[in-house]
């Protein structure tokens, strides 16, 4: 077999590792790739693992395009350099570090801690795995300047990652994201990284922060009396081997729910995620064991959180008493409807409240906000932009809640990232509230569609791996931007929002309007029949994502299935017309 050609620049990067002060095991792995697996060498070195605006995420292994001691160390050195520049007035700069269940979790957490303390930064390191929202909470509680979460969210087991937070508890936004990236890019040699940690600057934290977080979470409850009446609704919860394993059941218990059942096999903390193909609560397979358990015990609600417990997927019983998995838009609609209704019933609304959603999330949430007289904001994809609005309005308006279609939701503002722990508690409370009205969550969802219109949304993610895949995704976005579709599913495209150019093109009236949001590689097409199609490359996975949204009036509950099938068929036709399947 002919040996695969390896580009000279890739060999040059590999040789830097072979001849530099890297560990023996890494050098042996590189030699093996050169001799036996040149394609893996290419994938490992064809680029530097990007320290993006949210941090690092990549496959674990040897090389510049992999998560390892050296890429993590260089990124952390850049972050330390920036923090030291930005907080000269702070006598002792501090950072909080947490980690989820990923393989090498404590290793990467300790490398991060060592580099920070070696640079004079005090580190609060959690003593065991913790959810991402608790990391966000702890930053504010401990008045730290930065935070790092070692996680790859819902990615497959081969991945790990590194999310960076600022002193407000939110992920980095402009200008800090860009500036931290620039500082990280200046660190081009591992000899510039100080790995020799100062243990006197490292402290462990644990249960005391759990307690403060849970106490704050309990203040979110809006219907304690209803929970007392319906405390025994049966709930099955699974952490899918991740960080929700302790805090979610505890939160449900402290809210007052007494019939919470687990899936023992998935309570086992493991970065190998043995019981699932992918630890992603968006995927039906990830919830299968929990749904089977719910059928066995007669439960009505299933909840599953991803490895770092910032996203939650739920399954509910339909009219046939079978379990169906709700998408992120539907879960957000249920939570938003409940929150707005109870805030009004409890006489908490005074016209000074607001909610936030992302641009690819259902417009139904905006309709709800308008009805209740609550201000609403649309932001780019990514919860850091929701957190930024909360920060901007802090002390001026009250944040009720908000979320994104990718199964992330936040209630209240003491956390500044999506929070599946509080979301699970509030979903259970919503279920109790629905039960008090003689409804299941599925019935409540239909009532919402009856009131506001039937919104149907779905997502297709097209996977394109590696160097070739990244280039293909880029080419697709260029093609959509330069040659946008004029007709989609026999309906004229009447407007286009290009968030990279920051222009809204009103094609019907030949008007161009400025989009007042940061630049982002996202395109949205709006058709004459009311369809909305969004296209964007994933920021964390080798995918290009297509979001589809259509709607129709629902005049009576009895028409639900008919309208559902009509909207589903319409989206399928849109997908076919765009030649995605």
* CATH number, position 300: 3.40.120.10
Give domain status of residue 42, yes or no: no
CB 71 within 8 A of CB 22: no
Same domain, 262 and 392: yes
Q: In whole angstroms, how far apart are CA 193 and each of 56, 121, 201, 333?
A: 17, 14, 18, 47
User: Do 385 and 463 sit in the same domain of this protein?
Assistant: no
Same domain, 302 and 260: yes
- ω into residue 189 within 30 of 0, thus cis? no
Residues 59 and 137 in one domain: yes
How far is it, in rounded angstroms, from Cα 91 to Cα 403?
Answer: 36
Of 177, 185, 137, 531, nearest in space to 380 by CA: 177
- Asked, for residue 488, whether it belongs to a domain, the answer is yes
Active site residue 221: no
- Whether residues 280 and 405 fall in one domain: yes
Distance of alpha carbon 317 from alpha carbon 441, whole angstroms: 8
Same domain, 435 and 352: yes
Do 191 and 231 belong together in one domain?
no
Where residue 467 falls among pLDDT bands split at 50, 70, 90?
confident
Three-class SS of residue 429?
helix
**Is residue 332 domain-shared with residue 386, that is, in the same domain?**
yes
Instruction: Check residue 466 and give its pLDDT.
Output: 80
**What does the alpha-carbon distance between residue 69 and residue 67 come to, in Å, rounded to a whole number?**
7
From 76-80, 143-147, 309-313, 541-545, the region with the lowest mean pLDDT:
541-545
Please say which residue of 402, 422, 452 terminates a domain.
452
Provide the domain count of the chain.
Answer: 3
- Together in a domain, 478 and 446: no
Distance between CA atoms of residues 107 and 104, nearest Å: 5
Flag whether the pTM goes above 0.85: yes
Could you tell me if 76 and 194 lie in one domain? yes
> In the structure, what pLDDT confidence band is assigned to residue 53 with cuts at 50, 70 and 90?
low
Q: Which of 442, 444, 445, 457 is nearest to 316 (CA)?
A: 442
pLDDT for the residue numbered 470: 86
Q: What is the pLDDT of residues 266-303, one digit of tens each?
A: 999 999 999 999 999 989 999 999 999 999 999 999 99
Residue 538: pLDDT band with limits 50, 70, 90: confident
Which has more confidence, 6 or 281?
Answer: 281
User: Per-residue pLDDT for 2 more than 90?
Assistant: no
Same domain, 269 and 369: yes
Evaluate if residue 175 carries a pLDDT over 50: yes
pLDDT of residue 1: 42
Q: What pLDDT shows up at residue 327?
A: 96
Q: What CA–CA distance (Å, rounded) separates 28 from 69?
A: 16
Specify the CATH number for the domain of residue 485.
3.30.310
Strand order in the sheet with 312-317: 260-262, 235-238, 301-305, 312-317, 323-325
Residue 168, domain member (yes or no):
yes
Domain final residue, candidates 410, 434, 452: 452
Q: Is the pLDDT of residue 401 over 60?
A: yes
Average pLDDT over residues 84-105: 97
Instruction: Answer yes or no: is 443 within a domain.
Output: yes
The rounded mean pLDDT for the chain is 95
Within-domain flag for 519: yes
Q: How does residue 463 score in pLDDT terms, banded at 50, 70 and 90?
A: confident
The one catalytic residue among 44, 94, 153, 495: 153
Instruction: Tell me phi and psi for residue 216, to 5 degrees.
Output: -65, -40
Q: How confident is the model at residue 581 (pLDDT cuts 50, 70, 90)?
A: low
Residue 248 CA, distance from chain mean position: 18
The pLDDT assigned to 579 comes to: 84
Question: How far apart (Å, rounded) are the C-alpha atoms in residues 44 and 67?
Answer: 10
Last residue of one domain, picked from the residues 172, 205, 238: 205
Q: Are residues 163 and 233 in the same domain?
A: no
The residue-averaged pLDDT of 342-361 equals: 97
Structural domain of 541? 455-577
Q: 2 in a domain, yes or no?
A: no
Task: Report how far residue 579's alpha carbon sits from residue 387's, in angstroms, rounded to the nearest whole number.
Answer: 36
41 assigned to some structural domain: no
Residue at 5 is within a domain: no
3-class SS of residue 227:
helix
């Amino acid at each position: 077999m002919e040996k695969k050609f390896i580009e000279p620049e890739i060999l040059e990067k590999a040789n830097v590792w072979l001849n530099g002060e890297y560990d023996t095991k890494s050098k042996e792995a590189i030699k093996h790739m050169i001799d036996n697996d040149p394609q893996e060498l290419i994938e490992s070195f064809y680029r530097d693992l990007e320290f993006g605006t949210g941090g690092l995420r990549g496959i674990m292994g040897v090389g510049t395009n992999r998560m390892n001691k050296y890429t993590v160390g260089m990124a952390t050195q850049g972050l330390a350099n920036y923090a030291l520049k930005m907080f000269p007035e702070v006598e002792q700069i501090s950072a909080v570090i947490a980690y989820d269940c990923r393989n090498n979790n404590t290793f990467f957490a300790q490398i991060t801690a060592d580099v920070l303390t070696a640079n004079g930064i005090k580190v609060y390191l959690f003593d065991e795995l913790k959810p991402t929202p608790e990391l966000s909470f702890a930053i504010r509680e401990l008045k730290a300047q930065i935070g790092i979460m070692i996680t790859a969210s819902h990615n497959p087991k081969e991945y790990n990652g590194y999310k960076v937070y600022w002193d407000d508890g939110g992920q980095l936004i402009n200008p800090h994201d860009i500036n931290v990236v620039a500082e990280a890019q200046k660190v081009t040699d591992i000899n510039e990284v100080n790995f020799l940690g100062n243990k006197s600057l490292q402290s462990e934290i644990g249960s005391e922060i759990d307690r403060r977080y849970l106490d704050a979470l309990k203040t979110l409850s809006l219907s304690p009396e209803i929970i007392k009446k319906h405390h025994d609704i049966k709930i099955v919860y699974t952490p899918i081997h991740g960080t929700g394993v302790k805090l979610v059941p505890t939160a449900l218990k402290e809210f007052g729910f007494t019939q919470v059942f687990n899936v023992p096999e998935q309570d086992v903390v493991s970065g190998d995620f043995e019981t699932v193909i992918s630890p992603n609560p968006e995927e039906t397979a990830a919830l299968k064991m929990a749904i089977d358990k719910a059928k066995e015990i007669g439960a009505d609600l299933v909840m599953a959180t991803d490895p770092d417990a910032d996203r939650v997927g739920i399954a509910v019983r339909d009219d046939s008493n079978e379990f169906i998995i709700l998408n992120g838009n539907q879960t957000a609609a249920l939570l938003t409807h409940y929150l707005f209704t109870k805030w009004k019933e409890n006489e908490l609304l005074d016209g000074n409240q607001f909610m936030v959603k992302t641009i690819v999330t259902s417009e139904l949430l905006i309709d709800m906000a308008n009805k209740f007289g609550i201000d609403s904001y649309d932001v780019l994809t990514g919860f850091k932009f929701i957190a930024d609005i909360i920060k901007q309005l802090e002390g001026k308006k009250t944040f009720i809640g908000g979320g994104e279609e990718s199964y992330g939701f936040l209630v209240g503002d003491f956390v500044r990232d999506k929070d599946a722990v509080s979301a699970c508690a509030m979903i259970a409370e919503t279920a109790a509230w629905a039960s008090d009205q003689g409804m299941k969550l599925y019935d409540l969802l239909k009532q919402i569609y009856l009131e506001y219109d039937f919104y149907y949304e779905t997502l297709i993610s097209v996977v394109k791996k590696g160097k070739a895949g990244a280039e293909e995704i880029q080419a697709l976005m260029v093609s959509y931007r330069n040659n946008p579709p004029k007709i989609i599913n026999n309906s004229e495209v009447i407007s286009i929002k290009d968030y990279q150019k920051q222009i809204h093109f009103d094609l019907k009236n030949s008007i161009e309007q400025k989009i007042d949001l940061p630049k982002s590689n996202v395109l949205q097409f709006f058709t004459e029949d009311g369809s909305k199609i969004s296209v964007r490359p994933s920021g964390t996975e080798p995918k290009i994502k297509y979001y589809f949204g259509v709607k129709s009036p629902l005049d009576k509950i009895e028409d639900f299935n008919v309208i559902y099938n009509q909207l589903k068929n319409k989206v399928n036709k849109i997908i076919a017309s765009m030649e995605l399947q």
